[in-house]
Structure 1
Amino acid sequence: MKDWILENSFDFEGREVRWGVQGQGKAIVIVHGTPWSSFNLRHLIKGLSDEYKVYYFDLLGYGHSDKSENDVSLGIQNKVLAALIDFWKLEHPIAIGHDFGGTTVLRAHLLDKKPYKKLVVIDPVAISPWGSPFFNHVNKHEEAFSGMPDYIHEAIVETYIKTAAYKKLNKKTIEGIIKPWKGEKGKAAFYRQIAQANSKYTDEIQDKYRTINTPTLILWGENDQWIPVEKGIKLSKMIAGSQLKTIPNSGHLVIEEKYKELVIEIKRFIK
């Protein structure tokens, strides 16, 4: 499989954030979630960059970005996004976020006051409570998990990510997802980001959803077992005028399973 490479580097408070850009036209900023990386956005990036200039990056603690023993929580990711938007000199980009990426674009908008021309969230972690039993268990035993042999760790990651998909993932996709989490740094980073996950980061913005007046599209995998579509229905009621579109035969990893449908819906919404 051809390596997924982010050619550019941005310094955020002494920590490296890797980023890339493709295409020409109106600016789109697209943000991945957990335990994913910008690799999982490759289909959307390709599908959108034929008409738009698409900016993408790896969140702190993910993919090719800094994996040091520091803050990788949702509390810092919106600050990274806000800093990148300033660095790229984007005034009103179209913002797209999946999973934690959806939370990140929402937090940057509501807390850092970053204006968007339009907003698209895909199966976002937006409404408390959230967090699987696995998340909660790692929260309590992070050190024990990060000290496991590599082959057990990789088996855990593979088993975990498979539950995000409605249909079977192909081998290349699985390898691409797991690759950033391999090795001592990758292994520690995987459990670190789970251990730092906390609903307080959505609690502090939930009441502000009603203030959003940016045109908003909510896309949801109809068979999402991680965050059920009922959360999407609730979110659509909280954001006035928002559109909710469910994607059949897809799970939380709809960005891999039904990316063609997502590109069609996003382009239709933008236009």
Structure 2
Amino acid sequence: MSWKLDETAETSAGTVAAGRCGSGPALVLAHGWPWSSFSWHRIIPDLARRFHVHWYDMPGYGQSDKHAEQRTSLDVQGNVFAEMLAHWDLERPIVLAHDMGGATALRAHLLHGCDFDRYVLMNVVAMRPWGSEFFDHVGRHVDAFLGLPPHIHQAVVEAYIKGAIVNDIDSGDFEKLVEPWLSEEGRGSFYRQFAQADEKYTAEIEPVFGDIRCPAKIIWGEDDPWIPLERGKALHALIPQASFETLPGVGHLPQLEAPSLVWERLNAFLSRDGEG
């Protein structure tokens, strides 16, 4: 059983590419920026031995719709996450979220009434401040970046993704992370994500993090170059009911940098009764 995108769903933000495999309790994977559901492919086989695993590419990402007038900001993504749970008829899934998938699933849970059985937040975007100086710069000058020659654009994407990772990952995995952004529509969508980023969408939910209605666990790659460990600790302070665990020597993309370690930590939490 492995990652694939062999189904589609119509959402308020366009057509979404999705997949699922395995059997058991429902588990939903929420990817972040600038990734896609492919980022989970190395842990999906382990998860699928115990769970019915669901995943999708967020609108504007991967193999889902990417078009010039499309809104793909975090408010939209939170709505689409809720729509996907309804599409799959999932009332109380386990949710595993990474990067902006954290804010996406948090909005679905705290603002849109989606209930989760358990919730894992891994190196997530969830609270202010977020976004690097480069992130802010691109957001202010999107038109200039849209005019880059294709080979320069590819170099920008590759350098940006490499900036998240502190351990070598498989070269084929790296190419698959870059690939969706290299087509003409992918290039436009890549830069629109910078332009549509707005901290107000996390500010809206920060005051109610303590209202999470299920057992939760925060997992953090200690050497994350994008979202430092201190941000993970600050998030834990706002979700005191959650357990908190770090991954030594791991960067922002644990599921590809250290998939065996991630599975080990997930398995321990998901196998435990009570609050985890």
TM-score exceeds 0.5: yes
SS at match of 2:41: helix
Name the aligned partner's letter for residue 240 of structure 1.
P
Instruction: Report the equivalent of 2:171.
Output: 171
Q: Deviations over 1:32-84 (max 9, x none)?
A: 00000011111121220111000000000000001012101111001111011
CA RMSD of aligned residues (A): 1.3
Q: CA deviation at 1:225?
A: 1.0
Identity %: 41
SS at match of 1:251: coil
Instruction: Report the equivalent of 2:151.
Output: 151
Distance in 1 (CA, whole Å) between partners of 2:241 and 2:32 is 25
Q: Deviations over 1:174-227 (max 9, x none)?
A: 210111001211111100111111111100000010112311010100100100
Query: Aligned ranges for residues 53-92 of structure 1 at < 5 Å?
Result: 53-69=52-68, 70-92=70-92
Q: TM-score, normalised by structure 1?
A: 0.96
Change in 2 beyond 3 A, CA 1:159/1:125: same
Distance in 1 (CA, whole Å) between partners of 2:240 and 2:250 is 26
Name the aligned partner's letter for residue 41 of structure 1.
W
Distance in 1 (CA, whole Å) between partners of 2:95 and 2:199 is 22
SS at match of 2:126: coil
Equivalenced residue count is 269
Q: Is the 8 A contact 2:20 2:55 kept in 1?
A: yes
Q: Is the 8 A contact 1:162 1:169 kept in 2?
A: no
Query: Aligned ranges for residues 1-271 of structure 1 at < 5 Å?
Result: 5-13=4-12, 15-69=14-68, 70-271=70-271
Distance in 1 (CA, whole Å) between partners of 2:33 and 2:43 is 17
Name the aligned partner's letter for residue 249 of structure 1.
G
SS at match of 2:97: strand
Name the aligned partner's letter for residue 60 of structure 1.
P
Distance in 1 (CA, whole Å) between partners of 2:104 and 2:144 is 29
Q: CA deviation at 1:14?
A: 6.7
Name the aligned partner's letter for residue 10 of structure 2.
D
Q: Is the 8 A contact 2:168 2:257 kept in 1?
A: no
Name the aligned partner's letter for residue 201 of structure 2.
Y
SS at match of 1:30: strand
Q: Deviations over 1:93-141 (max 9, x none)?
A: 0011100011111110001010000000110101101111111011110
Distance in 2 (CA, whole Å) between partners of 1:85 and 1:170 is 31
Q: Is the 8 A contact 1:122 1:219 kept in 2?
A: yes
Q: CA deviation at 1:251?
A: 0.4
Q: CA deviation at 1:240?
A: 2.8
Name the aligned partner's letter for residue 29 of structure 2.
I
Q: CA deviation at 1:167?
A: 1.6
Q: TM-score, normalised by structure 2?
A: 0.95
List runs of 5+ in structure 1 lacking aligned partners.
Answer: none
Q: Is the 8 A contact 1:47 1:260 kept in 2?
A: no
Name the aligned partner's letter for residue 26 of structure 2.
A
SS at match of 1:207: helix
Q: CA deviation at 1:257?
A: 0.5
Distance in 2 (CA, whole Å) between partners of 1:17 and 1:46 is 22
Q: CA deviation at 1:260?
A: 1.1
Distance in 1 (CA, whole Å) between partners of 2:143 and 2:66 is 16
Q: Is the 8 A contact 2:13 2:76 kept in 1?
A: no
Q: Deviations over 1:18-43 (max 9, x none)?
A: 10001000000001000000111111
